[in-house]
Amino acid sequence: MTVLKGLSAFPITPSNADGRVDVAALRRLLARLVEAGVDSIGLLGSTGSYPYFSRTERRRALEAAVDETQGRIPIMVGVGALRTSDAVRLAQDAQAIGAVAGLLAPVCYTPLNDDEVYEHFITVARESQLPLCIYDNPTTTHFQFSRDLVSALSRVPEVIAVKSPAPEAHLAQVHHRELRAAVPPGFSIGYSGDGNSVEALLAGGDAWYCVAGGLFPETCMTIVRLIQGRRADEARRLNAALQPLWDLFKEYSSLRVMYAAANLLGICRAQPPRPILPVPDQVRQRIGETLTRLELR
Amino acid sequence: MTVLKGLSAFPITPSNADGRVDVAALRRLLARLVEAGVDSIGLLGSTGSYPYFSRTERRRALEAAVDETQGRIPIMVGVGALRTSDAVRLAQDAQAIGAVAGLLAPVCYTPLNDDEVYEHFITVARESQLPLCIYDNPTTTHFQFSRDLVSALSRVPEVIAVKSPAPEAHLAQVHHRELRAAVPPGFSIGYSGDGNSVEALLAGGDAWYCVAGGLFPETCMTIVRLIQGRRADEARRLNAALQPLWDLFKEYSSLRVMYAAANLLGICRAQPPRPILPVPDQVRQRIGETLTRLELR
């Protein structure tokens, strides 16, 4: 069975202005995830700002996470990079340090075609032997995965999973059925995009790659356990109650909101990597009020 | 008067598979530009794959260019990076080594807003004191510069120029007039997108940021001198004759075509940085035939 199922929690990576990871703050975030018993940790995802960190800092973050979790929670780590050779080295690091999987996005500057992305993936897979999750995130990479390309990649032995943007709720069933038909049995299909993920999981998705879960694992675990227990209505109700949070994500991006929230909760004092700016004061205040009202802590 | 006027030639940056710049091959490319007397060199632009190279390699490339040109041709160099702190260091390097300007794109992973891009630019400007050209390249950065943002940035003392994608020919006049009205007198407005640039220059553009000129400087200089001599019809004719090259650029991207062309001409043996792949054999052959037919050598 795949390790990528249930709740995969995606924390921010606290750092200073020079891009040095604040390992103590990261450990505080990870300790919450261990305590809540999330199914996996998505370290250095987009919310974890992986492309903004040097190889050295990505190593430091992963070493701290492996040490903090002590094998109790599987760790998937972002290994994406603009250059194939850099992605290979990051995947080799991840393999050596003890990640169970690498999350690989086709990071683009010059727009890439399907052949290029396919070659990129198989090179990283071959050179690292690390199990890989296809990271389909057109908001950041601007690369559009065709179903055919996902299907082709899913036949590569090291490629074990895909993280797709969750479609609008009313499209979840059709989208999931088509995606499932394109990949081999046992291949893990997971979803990101917090507000829409519940319907995608109810449609049969294996995993929720979850930004909110990186800071509020208890709440998100409750939703996942309800889904797994076929208590769809309760899961939907809890998800709907979080709508003010999903609205903030939509308006300011989940990354910016999570930085503000982690600071408000006193877990870290860190800002997103520049040029990304912290949200303005009045937005931070609204985030604080939302957390209080939703009893997120 | 601005140094950024006339033909700014944008060469590829030949390198090996590990991302080490082939300085000898780069010097051969630059020698052609010096020989042709281009008005400036756009080193490490998008065609020069700047974001795919380490800081060390970007320094090596610029040092070689400064040495090869010996002050005869002003050099603008790409200083863009995902992180503001990295862009600052690259701009400081450029200033120290002897570039006359830095070409700064808002390289994005997490999509940026206008405030973030503005802060990014003024930080790089303040910390480096390097004259900067705004690099508006939505095809690679996916950031859309509003006219208001260009206008605000054009008031920053170090920001001296903008490199805009040339609009469709029939929009060139209106586009240029509106852009001119948004910036202070003397601010350099230049265009990229080789096929459409001639009309943008005829509409009053100061500079042609030119990929083809990085390999075929004589031909592109001829066009620019015709425009400067108010011989619009002849410039248009020569530009139209190059349509088979512009078509290849459109179909396969100018970067991929220029790598194939530089190899076919025997100037270097280099491929684009992976994951970008060389064009397939039959396309390379078509490029070769096009160069022969257009007498580009």
User: Which pLDDT does position B2 carry in this prediction?
Assistant: 66
User: Which pLDDT does position A1 carry in this prediction?
Assistant: 47
- Work out the minimum CA distance from B3 to partner chain A, whole angstroms: 28
Known active-site residue B250? no
- Work out the minimum CA distance from B30 to partner chain A, whole angstroms: 23
Q: Where are the beta strands (DSSP E) in chain A?
A: 6-9, 40-43, 75-78, 101-104, 132-135, 159-165, 188-192, 207-210
B230: alpha, beta or left, given left = phi > 0 and alpha = psi -120 to 50? left
- Chain A residues with CB under 8 Å of B116 CB are 275-277
pLDDT tens digits for A92-142? 999 999 999 999 999 999 999 999 999 999 999 999 999 999 999 999 999
Give the whole-angstrom CA distance, residue A61 versus residue A46. Answer: 14
Mutate to test the interface with A, among B140, B257, B276 (most CBs of A within 10 A): B276
At A221, which helix (H) or strand (E)? helix A217-228
Known active-site residue A135? yes
Q: Judge: domain B6-231, CATH 3.20.20.70.
A: yes
User: Which pLDDT does position A193 carry in this prediction?
Assistant: 87
Within its chain, how far is the Cα of B54 from the centroid? 19
Q: Which among A141, A255, A275 is the nearest to B84, CB-wise?
A: A275
Q: Which among A113, A120, A273 is the nearest to B83, CB-wise?
A: A273
- Under the banding of pLDDT at 50, 70 and 90, the label for residue A2 is low
A83:B253 CB<8 A: no
| Binding site feature residues of A for pyruvate | 47
- Chain A residues with CB under 8 Å of B111 CB are 139-140, 253
Query: Which residues lie closer than 8 Å to B151 by C-beta, 6 or more apart?
Result: B182, B183
- Under the banding of pLDDT at 50, 70 and 90, the label for residue A195 is confident
On average, the pLDDT of chain A sits at: 96
- Chain A residues with CB under 8 Å of B46 CB are 109-110
Report which DSSP code applies to B167: P
Residue B163 has phi, psi (to 5 degrees) of -110, 105
Residue A268 has phi, psi (to 5 degrees) of -150, 165
DSSP string, A23-37: HHHHHHHHHHHHHHT
B46:A110 CB<8 A: yes
B140:A111 CB<8 A: yes
Report which DSSP code applies to A40: E
| CA nearest to A82 within chain B | B52
* Domain ranges (residues) in chain B: 6-231
User: Which pLDDT does position B1 carry in this prediction?
Assistant: 47
Q: Is the peptide bond before B138 cis (omega within 30 degrees of 0)?
A: no
Residue A219 has pLDDT above 60, yes or no: yes
- Work out the minimum CA distance from A296 to partner chain B, whole angstroms: 25
pLDDT tens digits for B171-185? 999 999 999 999 999
Tokens of B32: 């052609």
pLDDT tens digits for A221-269? 999 999 999 999 999 999 999 999 999 999 999 999 999 999 999 999 9
Give the whole-angstrom CA distance, residue B163 versus residue B209. Answer: 7
Give the whole-angstrom CA distance, residue B186 versus residue B178. Answer: 15
- Chain B residues with CB under 8 Å of A275 CB are 83-84, 106, 112, 116-117, 119-120
A106:B275 CB<8 A: yes
Q: How many CB atoms lie within 10 A of CB A20?
A: 13
User: Which pLDDT does position A7 carry in this prediction?
Assistant: 98
| CA nearest to B276 within chain A | A116
Catalytic residue chosen out of the listed positions B163, B209, B252, B259 = B163
Q: Residue B42 in 3-state DSSP? A: strand
Q: Which among A46, A83, A109 is the nearest to B110, CB-wise?
A: A46
Report which DSSP code applies to A203: T
CB pairs under 8 A between A and B: 92
Tracing tokens 């208001």 back to the chain, one arrives at: B148
Tracing tokens 């790598």 back to the chain, one arrives at: B259
Q: B281-293 and B254-264 are packed helices; what angle lies between their axes, rounded to 10 degrees?
A: 70
Judge whether B295 is closer than 8 Å to chain A, CB to CB.
no
| CA nearest to B120 within chain A | A275
Pick from A135, A132, A141: which is nearest to A109 by CA? A141
The stretch A9-22 carries a mean pLDDT of 96
Assess contact for A233 and A198: CB atoms under 8 A. no
Tell me the β-bridge partners of A208: A7, A191
Segments in chain B below pLDDT 70: 1-2
Catalytic residue chosen out of the listed positions A135, A191, A252, A259 = A135
Q: Judge: domain A6-229, CATH 3.20.20.70.
A: yes
- Under the banding of pLDDT at 50, 70 and 90, the label for residue A3 is confident
| CA nearest to A142 within chain B | B142
Work out the angle at residue A186's Cα, subtended by the Cα atoms of residues A183 and A187, and round it to the nearest 5 degrees: 45
Pick from B51, B62, B60: which is nearest to B20 by CA? B60
Instruction: Compute the residue count for chain A.
Output: 297
CA distances A90 to A44, A128, A141, B57, Å, are 12, 9, 18, 20
Tell me the β-bridge partners of B161: B133, B188
Judge whether A52 is closer than 8 Å to chain B, CB to CB.
yes
Tell me the β-bridge partners of B210: B9
Tracing tokens 């088509």 back to the chain, one arrives at: A178
User: Which pLDDT does position A209 carry in this prediction?
Assistant: 97
Give the whole-angstrom CA distance, residue A264 versus residue A258. Answer: 10
Pick from B182, B137, B126: which is nearest to B159 by CA? B126
User: Which pLDDT does position B193 carry in this prediction?
Assistant: 87
User: Which pLDDT does position A253 carry in this prediction?
Assistant: 95
Q: Residue A111 in 3-state DSSP? A: coil
Catalytic residue chosen out of the listed positions B50, B52, B118, B135 = B135
B276:A19 CB<8 A: no
SS3 content of chain A, % helix, strand, coil (to 5): 50, 15, 35
Tracing tokens 């006219």 back to the chain, one arrives at: B147
